[in-house]
Amino acid sequence: MRSPVKAIARSARAERVLTSLFGLLAVAAGALAIVVGLGWLGTFRSQRSVFDPLLAEWIAANPQWTKLIGIGLGIVLLVVGLLWTVRSLRPERQPDMLLSSSAAGRLKVTSGAVTDAVSADAESLAGVSRAKARLVGSAEEPALRLYLWLADGTDIRRIWQTLDTDVLARARSALGVDHLPTAIRLELDTSKPSRVS
Amino acid sequence: MRLLLRLLSTVLGLAVAAGGAVLAVEMTWSLAQPGSREALVPWRQWLATVESYSWSREPVLWLAGGVVALGLLLLLVAATARRKDVRLSDPADEVVVTTSPRTLARLVGTKVRAAEGVSGATVVATGKKVKVRANGRSTELRPSLAELVQSTVQDLPMPRHPKVRVAVAAPKNSRESS
């Protein structure tokens, strides 16, 4: 069962890890270059060419191997970079909900149908000015993310108490499921009331 | 910050992919057409330039410093791009409720501004602390405002209530309590 905590927001862990690794690599490489350049590892090293003479000699002696290694490295970097970019740009998955699966077939409810119904139901609560629902996770382990915008002066505790017994209980009942991990986000609505002339 | 992290991550991914593509194309071109000009970028010239520089040269040290600064910036963005949710108590199993610090601040601010004798207030809230700075006719308002803020916060269904700090500024003097 998917944890409702995971449904609070889209995870940025992959982006955070990759960016941190890149940052660490940059700090380590830059610091090492400074240490070598300032002569802390010996004056001889600091006077050597940035393009190491030993490496230059090996490249000159093995041009074919150098090019083949370059091609392989280039392809690896290209694939890794593209996967990384696609992972960062990919929109969050909104799975359809699998209600039953048997030899006779699978019964699914589309993500849009579930979220429209839950949003409309939540908006009918007194004090809720807007609602937006979203199914996240996978078809086998879906979770619900529900944003509720409350009108100014709404009693948050009352809304909090009725969420599970009203909105979510009805959603679970309508979908015929016992469990629906849910993360709810409460916000005060910032929209000003419209002026009537 | 999370948006910035996603943007930075995308740019870094694209940069890695572009670097890899250029490297693969140039090496393949060089393998297929030995001795011919470069296909995309003048990498032989770049290599000759790098070869002419030693580690102790000033441009190399400046560039290394820039790379360190860029790395620290990336680490900073990655470390600070976290959600600052205020967690409310769970109303049931498998249901979690959160709100934003801004919502908490607005809730408290609305109550404080509506209090008698208060002409204005600024509220800064996190899940751990609520700081109120009110402008009123007298600093004597402080105990009643502190009580009001405390009761507003206590009324919220939270597993741990934030600490409250109230300061009242009146013309020419101010007092603070926590």
CB atoms within 10 A of CB B3: 9
A156 with B89: CB under 8 angstroms?
no
What are the pLDDT digits (tens) for A121-148?
888 888 888 999 988 888 778 888 999 9
CA distance A115 to chain B (A): 16
- Closest partner CB to A71 (pick from B12, B24, B155): B24
Distance (Å, whole) CA B121 – CA B132: 7
SS3 content of chain B, % helix, strand, coil (to 5): 55, 25, 25
| Helix ranges, A38-168 (H) | 43-47, 53-61, 63-89, 111-123, 156-162
Identify the architecture of domain A97-188 in CATH.
Answer: 2-Layer Sandwich (3.30)
What are the pLDDT digits (tens) for A13-24?
889 999 999 999
B121 with B155: CB under 8 angstroms?
no
pTM for the predicted model, two decimal places: 0.75
Q: At what angle do helices A63-89 and A53-61 cross, to 10 degrees?
A: 110
Mutation target vs A (from B63, B93, B96; most A CBs, 10 A cutoff): B96
What are the pLDDT digits (tens) for B92-142?
888 899 999 999 999 899 889 988 888 889 999 988 999 999 888 888 888
Strands B86-92 and A128-137, sheet pairing: unpaired
Structure letter (DSSP) for residue B21: H
B4 lies within 8 A of chain A by CB = no
- pLDDT of amino acid B136: 83
pLDDT > 90: what percent of chain A? 34
- pLDDT of amino acid B22: 96
Average pLDDT over every residue of A105-120? 85
CA distance B32 to chain A (A): 10
pLDDT band, residue A30 (cuts 50/70/90): very high
Where are the domains positioned within chain A?
A: 5-89, 97-188
B78 and A16: CB-CB below 8 Å? yes
- pLDDT of amino acid A2: 62
CB atoms within 10 A of CB A75: 16
Distance (Å, whole) CA B73 – CA B67: 10
| More confident: A168 or B23 | B23
What are the pLDDT digits (tens) for B148-171?
999 999 988 898 999 999 998 877
Distance (Å, whole) CA A149 – CA A129: 6
- pLDDT of amino acid A194: 46
ipTM of the complex: 0.75
B13 and A27: CB-CB below 8 Å? no
3-class DSSP assignment, residue B154: helix
